[in-house]
Amino acid sequence: MFLMEGEGEGEVLYRTVQWDDSLLHSTGRTPAGPLFSIECLQGAVRQLHLPHCEITSGKGFDSLSVAHVTGDSVEVLQPVRVTYSHAVVDITDLSLWGLVSSYFSSSVEGQVLLFHKPQLRKPTLNVHLLPVNVPVTEVEREQRDCKYIQIPSNCPLTCGETYKLCCDSAEKNKIQPLVEKFRREYGPNYHPTFQVFLEASTEDVEIRLLKRGDEEVWTRQVPLRDTVLVGGLEVRAVEQLRSVRCNGGLEVRAVEQLRSGVSLWKKCQSLLLKVSWTGSCIRK
């Protein structure tokens, strides 16, 4: 959750942009969170609260700094304070701001994000393992034809640790890859860590995340609805099948049209988020 403090009343536009690794190389630091591009139309922003994912124990907080990127230069500043969830920095101008780190602690506050892609024959469930300070909206924007499943997602994750995903009815619901290492990712691309191929009739599934030694670190019962996206609307698959059946078989053209249905509301999502403040913290 990105926060800011300001004076007076005004409007702020902000979005996330891609880090330039070549600029950070000379500082000896690496990204520790998204890079925010901030514009203030009126009023003045005086302080930023940048979300981090460091575990409170250990030396993770000591490594955090704030990078201010302007053009081809980067300035590294020390935060005013670091809370359990944010690093706070005083600012005098805007442009690009983000968290960087001189080293990473092994364990971080993570999140398991689920995106369901309804299809007639083989629905899929995309599973993302990400640091908790990656905005869900950033990941959701890349998941075309997929529905974000709101479910408790918090899960401590260890950088470099090998994880395995399991689900019930494993003989019917296939998972790829079998194992994968967790890495910090801050875009611009957010590819699924795991992908589950579900039986078409699956209405719910239990997902379990295991780390090395088959130690269970996260488990959830995931509700799924037997729907497909048609022109951006969810339609029950069994009803849609009836509408395209022809002499006991499926019309291939109709099936392809169903698969290409795109949610219109996602196309209308803006990359810029608008917020207003009256001298207090603003929440995303």
Give me the DSSP letters along 17-46. Answer: E---HHHHHTTT-EEEEEEEEEEESSSEEE
Say how many C-beta atoms besides its own lie within 10 A of residue 84's C-beta: 10
Domain boundaries, the chain: 3-104, 107-225, 227-265
pLDDT score for 23: 87
pLDDT score for 46: 82
**Distance in angstroms (rounded) separating the CA atoms of residues 112 and 211:** 14
3-state DSSP call for residue 140? helix
Say how many C-beta atoms besides its own lie within 10 A of residue 124's C-beta: 18
pLDDT score for 245: 47
- Angle subtended at Cα 223 by Cα 219 and Cα 224, rounded to the nearest 5 degrees: 125
Assigned CATH topology for domain 107-225: Immunoglobulin-like (2.60.40)
Q: Where are the beta strands (DSSP E) in 83-197?
A: 86-90, 95-101, 107-117, 124-131, 147-149, 154-158, 162-167, 174-176, 180-181, 194-197
* Contact assessment for residue 133 and residue 52, using Cβ atoms and an 8 Å cutoff: yes
The sign of the CA dihedral 54, 30, 144, 122 is negative
pLDDT digits (tens), the chain, 284 positions:
566 666 666 677 788 999 998 888 888 888 999 999 988 765 577 889 999 998 866 555 788 999 999 988 999 999 999 998 999 999 888 889 999 988 766 789 999 999 999 887 789 999 999 999 999 999 999 888 899 999 999 999 999 999 999 998 767 789 999 999 999 889 888 999 999 999 888 888 999 999 998 999 999 999 987 555 555 555 555 445 445 444 444 444 444 444 444 343 344 343 333 333 334 444 44
pLDDT score for 63: 83
Q: Extract the tokens encoding 255.
A: 């099936």
pLDDT score for 105: 66
Please tell me the pTM assigned to this model: 0.76
**Distance in angstroms (rounded) separating the CA atoms of residues 60 and 77:** 16
pLDDT score for 74: 93
3-state DSSP call for residue 137? helix
